[in-house]
Amino acid sequence: MENTQQLNQSDQAQLSTFEMALRNFDMAADLLGLDSETRSQIRVPERELTANFAVKMRDGKFRMFTGYRVQHSTARGPAKGGIRYHPDVCLDEVRALASWMTYKCAVVDIPYGGGKGGVICNPKEMNELELENLTRRYATEISYIIGPTRDIPAPDVYTNPQTMAWIMDTYSMAKGEYCPAVVTGKPLSIGGSKGRNEATARGCVEVIAEAAKHLQMDLKGARVAIQGFGNAGAISARLIHDLYDAKVIAVSDTRGAVFNEAGFDPHRAIEHKERTGSVAGLPGTEAIPAETILTLDCEILIPAALENVITPCVANSVNARIVAEAANGPTVPEADSVLDQKGVFVLPDILANAGGVTVSYFEWVQNNSGFYWSEEEVNARLKDVMVTAFEKVLLTSKKYKVSMRRAAWGVALSRVAEALKARGIYP
């Protein structure tokens, strides 16, 4: 068994991120019996933009940067997806993330396609002026293909509401009119939506609650382990503790992992990280190796950090009843069958972390209507969308006798394929 697992991991290492996304696409297409012509239309992105541009730095000199914007599909509506700033950004990764956005929007049935963007840079080494200059130059380069009815960016890794404000302002100045709907995830002062900051985590917790009902599992006292204590992970910890009295026993970030079998208050963990920069050293907990957090004995495991962390070898040691993927692509395709055989109930990423794009859609609707909702209204609408999507995926899972991941991709792909067929090809 060990040799087989090592072979699977070796094979996996040869796959690019986009090729891994295509694995799930192919399984869903097979499930639906999708014809080859429709498959070929959906399989690859509609368009890809690569931009090389100069940015003025703090020393007055110019430095060249490379940025991307990929529109995977606009069959069901404008492309939608975040922009990340990171040294490891590459076109293959952006393609994969754009395709995930297509299916994420489709599985929760909001009228968007999928897009994604990124700039190769290290924002930790840049000051605010340099980040603003970079953002405005990048926004200008992609302005030819974005727009309120064409492609709507949002924050992602190392971008935030201020980044979106700069993009919105740059685009608006070029158009000569106020265009708040060109991006989502903006500050409230310029058209952002209440509830957006918590949306990804809240959506994840809502589907965990539905999964627990389905499994007849009481969330009160349920042990929760969370890999990644950024926005999604930290807020998920707080919400599942506050709303359902679940017991958070372990959390991790890039600098360490902490554990307490009796559980600890996630509010204290959040305060500790804000004060020190890490969960490491949280009073009342013990340090554990970061890699062990995925295999702790618990009821709920929330991978909320990196892609490809649950390999077949790791999956064989997972001891959770529910795995809720708050991160994009945390489970490699070969690991799914291992989890399925173990009876682990997986809430796939395109469903579990779709709360963020759902409330981004709400923000876009509010911008276009000029009418803004209370946070209670946003949260209630989000719950309705997430519960409806979970029920549809669960029903599909039962109908075809497949995993929740294959069911979610099947639901999403069927909606994209239906839109393509209805629209036809021009000219």
- pLDDT higher than 80, residue 412: yes
Phi-psi group of 196: left, alpha or beta (phi > 0 → left; psi -120 to 50 → alpha; rest → beta): alpha
Task: 53-61: list long-range contacts, CB under 8 Å, 24+ apart.
Answer: 53/137, 53/138, 53/140, 53/141, 54/137, 55/130, 55/133, 55/134, 55/137, 56/133, 57/130, 57/133, 58/127, 58/129, 58/130
Q: Are residues 74 and 174 in the same domain?
A: yes
Helix, strand, or coil (residue 7) = helix
Task: 185-190: list long-range contacts, CB under 8 Å, 24+ apart.
Answer: 185/82, 185/154, 185/155, 185/160, 185/161, 185/360, 185/363, 186/161, 186/363, 187/161, 187/162, 190/165
Helix, strand, or coil (residue 345) = strand
pLDDT in the model for residue 340: 95
Please give the average per-residue pLDDT across 235-241, as a whole number: 98
Q: Are residues 165 and 231 in the same domain?
A: no
Cα separation of 143 and 151, whole Å?
10
Count the domains in the chain: 2
Q: Are residues 246 and 112 in the same domain?
A: no
Q: Are residues 173 and 204 in the same domain?
A: no
Lowest-confidence range among 3-7, 77-81, 347-351?
A: 3-7
Cα separation of 390 and 373, whole Å?
24
pLDDT in the model for residue 307: 84
Active site residues: 116
Cα separation of 9 and 1, whole Å?
12
pLDDT in the model for residue 8: 42
Cα distance from N-terminal residue to C-terminal residue, the chain: 54
Domain boundary among 328, 343, 358: 343
pLDDT in the model for residue 15: 67
Per-residue model confidence as pLDDT tens digits over 136-184: 999 999 999 999 999 999 999 899 999 999 999 999 999 999 999 999 9
- pLDDT higher than 50, residue 384: yes
Q: Are residues 167 and 136 in the same domain?
A: yes
Cα separation of 236 and 231, whole Å?
8
SS3 percent helix, strand, coil of the chain, rounded to 5, is: 50, 20, 30
pTM of the full predicted structure?
0.93
pLDDT in the model for residue 11: 42
- pLDDT higher than 70, residue 415: yes
Per-residue model confidence as pLDDT tens digits over 5-38: 343 444 444 568 888 889 889 999 999 999 999 9
Query: Pairing between strand 47-56 and 286-287?
Result: unpaired
Domain boundary among 129, 148, 179: 179
Domain boundary among 343, 376, 406: 343
Which CATH number fits the domain that encloses residue 207?
A: 3.40.50.720
Q: Are residues 204 and 168 in the same domain?
A: no
* Domain range for 294: 199-343
Q: Are residues 108 and 149 in the same domain?
A: yes
- pLDDT higher than 90, residue 427: no
pLDDT in the model for residue 10: 42
pLDDT in the model for residue 12: 44
